[in-house]
Amino acid sequence: MKSKILLVEDERDLGNVVKQYLEIMDFDVEWSLNGKNAYDTYAAKPDNFDLLVIDVQLPGMNGFDLASKIQEHNKNTPYLFLTARGEKKDRINGLSIGADDYITKPFDIDELVLRIKNIIKRRVPGKANNISTDNTTTAIDAITFGDVIFQKHLLKIKVGNKPSVALTVREAELLEYLYHHRNSILKREDILVQLWGENDYFIGRSLDVFISRLRKQLSSSEKVSIDNVYSVGFIFTVKD
């Protein structure tokens, strides 16, 4: 079965090109020109779409507002943002509210296709358009520490006997980094540079959001915690 994409793009020429190319690549694409129509389309059949590709700068309801309303239906719905080049604040905001990825305009259409396939591979097993999603890979990618199971491939974390919860790509990257540097004091600037290539105000604020969300997911753990180290950074503690 083809993966179903909801494309939300108000630029007609760009939207038409992206839609046609994704269909050539064997995706089933529905295209909306604004946030309101996209929301109505999604709300009518919220389980119908495997991924949403959302432009940030939309008339009326912008991409961030649209994503927030969609999450009210299903917080695990995968989506990525299209953002104008240089709008770093928008990109950080998009990742902070739960986007799986972002891509800046102008973009290479093949890069967009690859990112879409990678997200679907992680988030919608069995519907990855000829990308293998076998159980062996999932098992290999699982990391266990304390009473936590972290499934990198599926972007999921399970604490104790509680159900698994989904992570965003950036949250998963951060959790993996913390795990590999566990029980050591980590400087904020080192985390930012190692993971995202730079250390500035907006990315720092985004890091705080990711830490807060991971801390919430780990709050029921008896062996794993993330603690602040005043004026320095964090320590990711894993007890035997």
Longest dimension (CA), the chain: 57
Instruction: Give residue 173's domain range.
Output: 135-238
Mean pLDDT lowest among 88-97, 121-130, 201-210: 121-130
Find the mean pLDDT for residues 26-39: 94
Residue ending a domain, choose from 99, 123, 147: 123
Q: For residue 85, what pLDDT is reported?
A: 56
Query: What is the 8-class DSSP label of residue 1?
Result: -
8 within domain boundaries: yes
* Same domain (yes/no): 150, 114: no
Residue ending a domain, choose from 101, 123, 145: 123
- The two three-digit tokens of residue 6, written as one number: 């909801």
Which position has the higher pLDDT, 190 or 97? 190
130 within domain boundaries: no
* Contact criterion met (CB below 8 Å) for 238 and 145: yes
* Same domain (yes/no): 119, 139: no
128 within domain boundaries: no
- Looking at the chain, the whole-number percentage of residues with pLDDT higher than 70 is 90
3-class DSSP string for 75-134: CCCCEEEEEECCCHHHHHHHHHCCCCEEEEECCCHHHHHHHHHHHHHHHCCCCCCCCCCC
Ranked by mean pLDDT, the top range of 18-27, 154-163, 216-225 is 216-225
Count: domains in the chain: 2
Residues 6 or more apart in contact with residue 113 via CB below 8 angstroms = 21, 22, 25
Q: How many CB atoms lie within 10 A of CB 206?
A: 22
Strands 142-145 and 185-187, by their bridges, are: unpaired
Residues 161-204: pLDDT tens digits? 888 888 887 888 899 999 999 999 999 999 988 887 777 776 77
- Burial label for 212, CB within 10 Å (0-12, 13-18, 19+), is exposed
Instruction: With a cut of 80, say whether residue 208 has pLDDT above it.
Output: yes
Strands 148-151 and 156-159, by their bridges, are: antiparallel
| Helix/strand/coil for 29 | strand
* Contact criterion met (CB below 8 Å) for 217 and 157: yes
Q: What is the CATH number of the domain that holds 47?
A: 3.40.50.2300
Residues 117-146: pLDDT tens digits? 888 888 776 555 444 433 333 444 678 898
Q: For residue 109, what pLDDT is reported?
A: 83
For all residues of the chain together, what is the average pLDDT?
A: 85
Beta-strand ranges (E) seen in the chain are 4-8, 28-32, 51-55, 79-84, 101-105, 142-145, 148-151, 156-159, 165-166, 185-187, 224-229, 233-238
Find the mean pLDDT for residues 17-30: 90
Instruction: With a cut of 80, say whether residue 1 has pLDDT above it.
Output: no
- Burial label for 200, CB within 10 Å (0-12, 13-18, 19+), is exposed
* Same domain (yes/no): 156, 97: no
- The two three-digit tokens of residue 61, written as one number: 């309801």
Instruction: With a cut of 90, say whether residue 73 has pLDDT above it.
Output: no
Q: For residue 72, what pLDDT is reported?
A: 86
Mean pLDDT lowest among 46-55, 110-119, 140-149: 140-149
Q: For residue 156, what pLDDT is reported?
A: 86
